[in-house]
Amino acid sequence: MNAQQQNREFPFNPQQPVGGAIIDAQGREIPITEQMIQQACRELDQTWQPARRAS
């Protein structure tokens, strides 16, 4: 299968689940989407700090 065929079969959709889920406080399963992962990465990028060197 070439890349063009694959793109037709699997169009990009940031709302589509990527294969995992989280369980909320009420016990409901919430599918993890690409958008959720991107948001988490942005938050980590904003709060990341280099490790401190041991003395």
Give pTM, 2 decimals.
0.54
- What are 5-49's pLDDT values in tens digits? 545 565 666 666 667 899 999 999 999 888 888 999 999 999 988
Q: How many CB atoms lie within 10 A of CB 32?
A: 14
**E-assigned strands of 1-55?**
17-23, 29-33
Q: Check residue 33 and give its pLDDT.
A: 87
Q: Which residue has the higher pLDDT, 14 or 52?
A: 52
Q: Check residue 54 and give its pLDDT.
A: 81
